[in-house]
Structure 1
Amino acid sequence: MTREQRLAQDRLRDMADSDEDYGGGGGGGYEEDVLRGRAPAYLSHAGEDFTREDLARSDESLYERLMESHRASFGRHYDPRTRRNRTQKRVDAFSKQIETMADAYVSWSAATAEGGLGSSYELSADAVVQETREVLVVDVFSAYHDNLALIAGDRYVSSGCVRQGWMPVAPWFPTVVITLRALEVYRVTNLRCPRLGIQPFVRALCDLHGVAPRPWLASQFSVAFDVYLAVRAVIDKRVQVALGRDTPNWRLKNACPACLYKLEGEPHLYIPFMYTMDGNNSLSRHEIREKEQVHEDGTTVPGASKELGDDRVVPGDYYLPREEVNKWAKEGLEELMKGFVPGVENDNDQDGCAERWQNMKEDVTARAWGMYDETGIFPALCRHGFVLVVVDMVKSGELAKYGFSVTAHLFRVLGEVAGAYDIGCKFGKMVNSHPLLSKLALDNNFKSLVGAFHGHGHGRRCQLKNLTTYVKGVGLESLEGCEAYFSKSNGLAANTRHASRFHRQQAITAYMKHTDAFDTYQSLSLVMCSKYRRALEIKATYGALREAMRDLGVESREVFETWLESEKTYLRTLSREPLEETMEMEYYQKLGARHGRLRSKATRRLETQRRHALELHAKALAVVHDLEVRMGIETRWSPGEDKWDGAAARVEKRRYRRAIDHLEGLVVSRMFELAKCHMSGTGYRLRKHIAKALQARSKAIKGAIAKYNQAAEAMEPPRPTLDWEQVVECAFLADFDLLRDAREDIRQEPWALPAGRAAMDQHFKLLRADEEIERLNVEIHRFVTYMRDEDNFLIRQEDRLREEGDEGMVHQVRLVRMERGRFTSLHMSRFVRLSKAGGFTGDLVPGVSVSRERHAPASEAEYEQDEDAASDDDEEVARLTAGFINIVRLSSDISAEAEDTQDS
């Protein structure tokens, strides 16, 4: 290394070797380094500078005292702050400035409204710049240094950043800012692809900038993004206040325009409002804990939580607070199933569903998962898919308190509702038995809870009562929206699994709000049109039903209702065996235990266990004596007698019947679900692939088939056995539920024959199709009216705010109007095409809503008292209606031309 290279390296390291090294030739290097703080100033007691040779001859102690004093006065000071509360301090600091930042955001948004996110900020000519600061600006395609101009009126540096289109990463003295367009790009992209987290997005920015990934940039981006969402939440709140929509539960009461925007003079629906709810454990969140503790007995206990929380609360009313949910925990559970409220339907008969479904068992639902804090979400959706409310499942599975809290909240806010739950057969009884919920149900004309989604997996008795096909007023609605919703929302799991509690709820709430506005609302007309066409297709099969009725000798469709009741009665008798037959079978089994004459190997194994439990042969004999006394038997039965053989046949038949029940619960239920998903129409190779997958994963199914085969072979005469391939094929093509032997041979009953069952099912489908068309006619009319009223109402509010001189808020209200208004022509073109189909009986002319909120008069009193104003309003409604219909026709013509062009 040459001397010049060594001197350059020493200067870079802020080291000074001699006076010559500092450019004694007049370069001013030493003085420059002292002024810039890169080197200490060597001063004598007289004040002049002196060289290191002079230091050697001076008082060393004086020099050391001077250096110590310098370090004490100007050295690095001790920072008493800790990292444990840094998040809360930052949140508190931004909270003080959030309103001012929201004002700046409104100004920036209005200023860039014409050019959009691509426009650049321009300082107004009359602005008085008081100070400028250099900051690093991180944009989408570049990062650069720029001057932050603080003008008169900027209360904070952060508000000055927002006014210029930047979001600071620190509350008071930011040196790095993120552009609002970069944050908006990530927000929109993340909502469309929930799996995209901040870290990969920031790394993508670094790739676009052509630099290596910056580890700290992800943290800075996260801070800026949180503040950006907080600012947007403040502005949303202001917009709601300006529109008069800040009353409690306003969003819930207006969540779905098709379900809740009621009109004057519309027909009353038997079930005014339907919702579905279910739990989903995909959006669970790991809790940060200390190392687990191991006790002396070898058991391990999760360590204490060490999460650093803050007091931020997610804005909006999607979430029910945990405190509200916990009010329903263990409340009245001791007396829950002991008695039912008078006047509510009571059904204490056991249908076997509690043994089939894991989330019905208290020992399963009450189990806490130690590694998670939130174990999932429990939402409620309307029948069109809009989110009504959601709660967090905390350290547990699907407990009753989650369904209770959601049901009670909907009762209070919406009134007369009917809900669906995959364990609705049991949950409905729990609601009717709960002292508080039962009162709310009676007060709000609560109809019933129907067992939806897993309906075909429930027992047949449960299906006949709760399956939507047989429930009056439900229409063709399957109420399975939760599972379809979960299939999309599960994409959030990658980013929420290890997030904080606040960030998890923030991500879930933002996703729900975006999905409601841009997915569910956009497809609302498509869903209703599809349901309408499906109902028309079912109604077109009425002729086939008449032919089937003629072949079956059925004169009236009311006969099918009788068949359904006969089936219910038959299944009810199967659930309770006659006492006399039960005692005879028990007597036979005890005698068989004494004589050792039971037949099958499985029975011998069970009998061995029974003998081990009784321990002595005399105990079995004692039981026989007791049964003989109770049954009045004077001569003991022996093999070969009629009573012995009859009891033996009944025992084998019961074993055979129970084996079929078990097989149905494990196999047929799953296959029906696959059939509902149109898997039955798949090709041969795909069905074989599904069969192999189920066979490899379901040992319980194999055991059920083996048990059935043993029971079938023991029957007199032996019944056909089954293998895996036969079970899969039969599950796709047959109905196992009733084609079985029982105490009463019902195989020749009309409702048990395949043709009779098909006709009965078609009858109920036609009933539900009529109900569906009636409901859709109401919902389509509501939705058409809502689109007109909402657009007119927001236009009037824009004019009012413009007259008040609030241009910033005018732009925000315009954004709200454009958010849903962009889909109006799409919705109307779909409805117009539907109206041209044969069988459409709806009305596309807007009506008059029951709520006066969106009406032209300023108040309801004004609307009722001033007849002249009412007359003028009627003319205005007629004019707007005519204009609205013209827009509809125009959009329909444009859509038709587009379709013709595409076809050509």
Structure 2
Amino acid sequence: MVWYTGLSQSGLGGEVIQEYNGDLNAQTIALVNIFFTYSAIFSGSNPYVVLSIKTFVKSLCDIQGPSVHQHVQCALGSDMPNWRLINACPRCLYHIEGKPALWFQLRCTMDGNNSLEQLAQKEQIGEVDGADQSMGGASKEHLDTRVNLNEAVTSKMWGIYDETGMFLALCRHSFVLLITDMVQSGELAKYPLAILNKLLDVISKDIGMGYNIGCSFGTTINKSPLGSKARSLQFAFSVGAFHGHAHLRPCQTSHLATYTQGLGLEHLEQCESFFSASNKLASSMWYMSVFHCHQAISQYCYHHDNFEAYSRLSKFLVDNYKQAVEIRATNYALAKTMNSLGIASTDVFHNWLKEEWEYLSGLKKEPKLETLQMDYYRKLVKLDESEFGKNAATQEWISYDPNNISKAFDAQDQTHRVETQHRHAIENRDDLKSEVQALETHLGIRHWWTTGSEEWEKAKEMVTMAKYQRALDKLESLVVACLFELTKLNMSRTDALRARSQVIRTAVTTYNIAASELNRPKLSWDQPWAQPAACLALDQYHNLVHAKEEIIRLNREIQLLTTSIHEETAYIQLMAKEHQQSDPLLAIQIQKFGWELGCCNDLHLMRLKKLGKMPGFSGTLLPGQGVLRRSSGYSDVWGYYSE
């Protein structure tokens, strides 16, 4: 009989540790079958197979004894605080000696997802008094309630779910940096604040973060206790290329990834791809305990980082390099466009963005002078109407004769009614006249505007345009909101939008009335940045700049990849050799750990070798002298590893 410790590097068999030719009983055969089946199925910690981990772990512990994973990590120096975060991505967090710092040391993105929900249990198993104090954590009752997304659907689920999802941060190569549970809440501001605080403490300075509400969340950061720390460590927020185009244009000019210096060709939307795959865990986690829920997520992230993200790493670098080289080749086309538009320098593009932001920021609310002029016009219109009403009431009061009142009516009551109407009309006219006089004093108007005058017609046009814009904004917001709702119900292509919404039909009627009163003005392209050709040139310029930034970063990351492959392989071999005499079994496990980490290294080197022969490649494939941080995130000790 042959006993296996696991699959070998070739995947066809395990290390033979004992051979037995005696009789086999049913229990022995069952244990061998369970052990080999577990090794085959869970090679690579594949999370997609929904089987009972607990049963396999019990059987393995009976056969193999205690786990050796912690011993391997300890032997490699990987059991220190924050080690996993510091070494999560060797391309983002690995360094080569003598190389200057790039614009952002770490480019990452974060977002929340509520697919991995966990139903609340009547009793929380395993909780003991004083657990929070011993673990140094905060109880759920004391969790912060600051929100950045106040969704009605979130509030309804709090009574059903204990953990409503997860909030995570990924680097630009899709390696998991940090994960936190969302507990009985939606996407509250405390989750990104906690992740940001950890990144600033461990990774330190020069972090560029993408977040779908990064524009408004930057204000939250500045007002929080983390504001001074984030500013001193040069932390920067951006909005992803996908979500950013749904934001207002003033936000895009200052936060969109397209216009953010130093991001390269980064879209900052890695979380959506991660959630698309991790949603497969949802069906198996509804009724799990908190421990098993965390275990499943941890196992998935381990598999994702070591077998998904790492295997795609060289492809990511190669594809981005090819894209950047293609964009860089459009330099001549940009020069031709600039010449046709009469643009002498690329500095003009930066000035355009600044001018556009200043112009659009001024349109967030109506200018004060125009607002007062429109108020004055409205008061004059009401004053004319009030004057007409006062004259009518006066005429009725003058012509009123109590003797002509029918006996069916009380003459005295009728007299009081006419007199009261006349008095109210005079009071209303006097009140409006006082308001008109106050506005005239404020605006410096010597003679009030009359119907048909130039000032009257100009103010009338402004009031009509404002009414039209408000009707259009109301209609647009209602239609977009309803379309989002119907899309979630898979009804966006039916007649439900037309049939069910009386509110929208009312808004359409209001819009049609406002539009009929307006002589639509012709579009004016007074500002150069508002011209379509100029907008195209602006985006073309920034794509070209980002392509050059991307090539610089990719040249560094390609050398980092070759360096880390060389030095990590050498380091693991060195550690295995050091433990060969003192603990040969641990040395074997260290070698197996190295095989697992390096299963894709040959593929990476082959892809990079082909890239090195491509026209336009300006980097190097030779490994440098790497620096690998092996210590706590709160110190700055660096170790050098070479064979």
Please give the TM-score of this superposition, normalised by the length of structure 2: 0.79
Q: CA contact under 8 A between 1:420 and 1:452: conserved in structure 2? A: no
1:713 correspondence with 2:515: yes
Whole-Å Cα distance in 2 between the matches of residues 424 and 799 of structure 1? Answer: 49
Q: Which deviations, in whole Å up to 9, do the C-alpha atoms of 1:183-232 show, x marking residues without a partner?
A: 34554598353xx533xxxxxxxxxxxxxxxxxxxxxx564145479999
Larger Rg: 1
Q: Which deviations, in whole Å up to 9, do the C-alpha atoms of 1:727-766 show, x marking residues without a partner?
A: xxxxxxxxxxxxx96xxx4x24321111111011111111
Find 1:808's aligned residue among 571, 585, 604: 585
Find 1:252's aligned residue among 67, 81, 85: 85
Could you say which residue in structure 1 is the equivalent of 2:463?
Answer: 651
Whole-Å Cα distance in 2 between the matches of residues 861 and 498 of structure 1? Answer: 44
Find 1:277's aligned residue among 110, 113, 117: 110
Whole-Å Cα distance in 2 between the matches of residues 546 and 114 of structure 1? Answer: 54
Q: CA contact under 8 A between 1:453 and 1:480: conserved in structure 2? A: yes
Q: How many residues align?
A: 580
Query: How far does residue 707 in structure 1 lie from its aligned partner after superposition?
Result: 7.3
Find 2:55's aligned residue among 218, 221, 224: 224
Whole-Å Cα distance in 2 between the matches of residues 411 and 229 of structure 1? Answer: 40
Find 2:123's aligned residue among 302, 306, 322: 306
Could you say which residue in structure 2 is the equivalent of 1:183?
Answer: 38
1:197 correspondence with 2:59: no
Q: Which deviations, in whole Å up to 9, do the C-alpha atoms of 1:824-849 show, x marking residues without a partner?
A: 11111111221222221111100001
**Residue 402 to residue 112, structure 1, CA distance change in 2 (3 Å):** closer
**Residue 816 to residue 261, structure 1, CA distance change in 2 (3 Å):** same
Query: How far does residue 361 in structure 1 lie from its aligned partner after superposition?
Result: 4.4
Whole-Å Cα distance in 2 between the matches of residues 472 and 658 of structure 1? Answer: 36
Could you say which residue in structure 1 is the equivalent of 2:74?
Answer: 241
**Residue 454 to residue 628, structure 1, CA distance change in 2 (3 Å):** farther
Q: Which deviations, in whole Å up to 9, do the C-alpha atoms of 1:598-639 show, x marking residues without a partner?
A: xxxxxxxxxxxxxxxxxx997798467335414425665554
Q: CA contact under 8 A between 1:279 and 1:379: conserved in structure 2? A: yes
Query: How far does residue 810 in structure 1 lie from its aligned partner after superposition?
Result: 2.1
Find 2:493's aligned residue among 681, 689, 693: 693
1:408 correspondence with 2:197: yes
**Residue 422 to residue 120, structure 1, CA distance change in 2 (3 Å):** closer
Q: CA contact under 8 A between 2:120 and 2:160: conserved in structure 1? A: yes
Amino acid of the structure 2 residue aligned with 1:642: E
Matches within 5 A, 1:269-668: 269-288=102-121, 305-309=122-126, 323=138, 329=144, 359-361=148-150, 369-416=158-205, 417-435=207-225, 437-450=226-239, 453-592=242-381, 622=431, 625-626=434-435, 628-632=437-441, 637=449, 639-658=451-470
Query: How far does residue 383 in structure 1 lie from its aligned partner after superposition?
Result: 0.7
Q: CA contact under 8 A between 1:458 and 1:665: conserved in structure 2? A: no
Whole-Å Cα distance in 2 between the matches of residues 444 and 325 of structure 1? Answer: 31
Whole-Å Cα distance in 1 between the matches of residues 330 and 249 of structure 2? Answer: 26
Q: Secondary structure at the residue paired with 1:373?
A: strand
Whole-Å Cα distance in 1 between the matches of residues 44 and 571 of structure 2? Answer: 31
Whole-Å Cα distance in 2 between the matches of residues 398 and 260 of structure 1? Answer: 28
Q: Which deviations, in whole Å up to 9, do the C-alpha atoms of 1:88-133 show, x marking residues without a partner?
A: xxxxxxxxxxxxxxxxxxx965487599786799976799x9xx9x
1:756 correspondence with 2:534: yes
Query: How far does residue 475 in structure 1 lie from its aligned partner after superposition?
Result: 1.0
**Residue 182 to residue 774, structure 1, CA distance change in 2 (3 Å):** same
Which structure exhibits the higher relative contact order, with contacts defined as CA atoms closer than 8 Å and separated by 6 or more residues? 2
Q: Secondary structure at the residue paired with 1:277?
A: strand
**Residue 327 to residue 818, structure 1, CA distance change in 2 (3 Å):** farther
Matches within 5 A, 1:27-46: none
Q: Which deviations, in whole Å up to 9, do the C-alpha atoms of 1:613-669 show, x marking residues without a partner?
A: xxx997798467335414425665554343333222112223444556667778899
| Structure 1 stretch displaced more, 112-121 or 392-401 | 112-121
Q: Which deviations, in whole Å up to 9, do the C-alpha atoms of 1:405-463 show, x marking residues without a partner?
A: 0000011010111211100011111112212x123214423234445541001100000
Q: Secondary structure at the residue paired with 1:278?
A: strand
Whole-Å Cα distance in 1 between the matches of residues 566 and 344 of structure 2? Answer: 48
Matches within 5 A, 1:712-751: 713-714=515-516, 716-718=518-520, 745=524, 747-751=525-529
Please give the TM-score of this superposition, normalised by the length of structure 1: 0.57
**Residue 862 to residue 251, structure 1, CA distance change in 2 (3 Å):** closer
**Residue 252 to residue 659, structure 1, CA distance change in 2 (3 Å):** farther
Q: CA contact under 8 A between 1:638 and 1:644: conserved in structure 2? A: yes
Query: How far does residue 489 in structure 1 lie from its aligned partner after superposition?
Result: 0.6
Q: Secondary structure at the residue paired with 1:751?
A: helix
Whole-Å Cα distance in 2 between the matches of residues 369 and 260 of structure 1? Answer: 38
Q: CA contact under 8 A between 2:6 and 2:39: conserved in structure 1? A: no
Query: How far does residue 245 in structure 1 lie from its aligned partner after superposition?
Result: 1.1
Where in structure 2 are there 5+ consecutive unaligned residues? 129-134, 387-423, 485-489, 632-636
Amino acid of the structure 2 residue aligned with 1:845: L
Q: CA contact under 8 A between 2:630 and 2:638: conserved in structure 1? A: no
Could you say which residue in structure 1 is the equivalent of 2:547?
Answer: 769
Report sequence identity in percent.
35
